[in-house]
Amino acid sequence: KLIITGSAIGNSIDKKLISLGRKRKIFTISIIEHWTNYYSRFVYKNKIFLPDLIFVNDLIAYKDAIKAGIPKQKLLVMGNVHFENLSKFNLKKKLSPWAQKIKNQNKKIIFFLSEEILKHQKYLIKEYKTDEFQTIKNIITAMSENDILVIKCHPEEKVKKFKRFANKNIIIKNKVTFSDIVNLPDFIIGIKSIILLELSIFRKDIISYRPL
């Protein structure tokens, strides 16, 4: 009777479910929990997969989505329960064993929160003039030999994607607790990942790296 989807960019199960809803005349709702790329989230191979209704976070997202080309009648401001709950989250300060081992080295620790930019570049708006590989190269260039870089893979990514960068000062992780991300690094760098916004609830030094 009802289909609810996310709004992943590119060839995703979301678009397949929206297409299924159209064929079977099932009401479909998609949720955009970001503040970017509103229209392109529903485009694949030059086809548009708009659901019956789209939930957005707030009035900023609502207005920007209309500017991006999404029909006003398909949009509804619904807030974001995840962020509301996260603001009340009791964050643990104790580090995981692997994180504590790195902390004990007394070196400057940099976290890079990766995401699939290069793969989805054709769907992204013009403000993204970098990708995950170039960003890592730029971070490495700025590092000293006393720094440690932890590359945290996006759930869509595998460790082998960044294997060429691995050495004694560069660690690649596919699973890291939220508490470790908040408490371990001296610097946190990402591009546009929503986790940057989540982390900003607990730290005020988050870097969203988007060079012109």
SS (H, E, C) 38-105: CCHHHEECCEECCCCEEEECCHHHHHHHHHHCCCHHHEEECCCHHHHHHCCCCCCCCCCHHHHHHHCC
In 10 A of CB 164, how many CB atoms?
A: 10
Encode pLDDT of 123-140 as tens digits.
665 556 788 999 999 999
Cα separation, 77 vs 81, in Å, equals: 12
pLDDT at 125: 58
Q: Spell out, as residue ranges, where the chain has pLDDT lower than 70.
A: 121-128
**Those residues with Cβ within 8 angstroms of residue 137's Cβ, 6 or more apart along the chain or in another chain:** none
* Confidence (pLDDT) at 128: 61
- State the Cα–Cα distance between residues 21 and 24, nearest whole angstrom: 5
pLDDT at residue number 73? 97
Backbone angles phi, psi at 109, to 5 degrees: -115, 125
- In this prediction, residue 89 carries a pLDDT of 83
Instruction: For the beta carbon of residue 18, count every other beta carbon within 10 angstroms.
Output: 24
Evaluate if pTM is beyond 0.85. Answer: no
